[in-house]
């Protein structure tokens, strides 16, 4: 692994962890608000973040052709 790859991986892992934490926080807050539209917004946001988290995992593992 080159120095550049190591540096990139550190950054992508940090961003992925931050998105994972935010996704968890959103899911927890769904039950804490008394507004159906806010619950839906939090749910949609969590789902979008899950897609991004998956993309970061694929990038880090080079498991998708686009990232190889």
What are the residues whose beta carbons fall under 8 Å from the beta carbon of 63, sequence distance 6 or more?
A: 57
The whole-model pTM stands at: 0.85
Q: What residue ranges in 1-68 does DSSP mark as E strands?
A: none
Q: Give pLDDT tens digits for 7-57.
A: 888 999 999 999 999 999 999 999 999 999 999 999 999 999 999 999 999
With CA atoms as reference, report the closest residue to 12 among 58, 48, 47: 58
Q: Residue range 56-66: average pLDDT? A: 89
Residue 6 scores a pLDDT above 80: no
CA distances from 42 to 3, 30, 50, 68 (A): 38, 6, 12, 33
Provide the residue ranges of all domains of the chain, joining segments of one domain with +.
3-67
pLDDT at 45: 98
């Amino acid at each position: 692994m080159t120095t550049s790859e190591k540096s990139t991986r550190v950054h992508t892992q940090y961003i992925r962890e931050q998105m994972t934490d935010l996704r968890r926080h959103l899911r927890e807050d769904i039950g804490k608000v008394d507004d159906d539209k806010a619950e839906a917004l939090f749910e949609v946001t969590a789902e979008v973040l899950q897609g991004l988290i998956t993309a970061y995992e694929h990038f880090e593992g080079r498991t998708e052709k686009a990232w190889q």
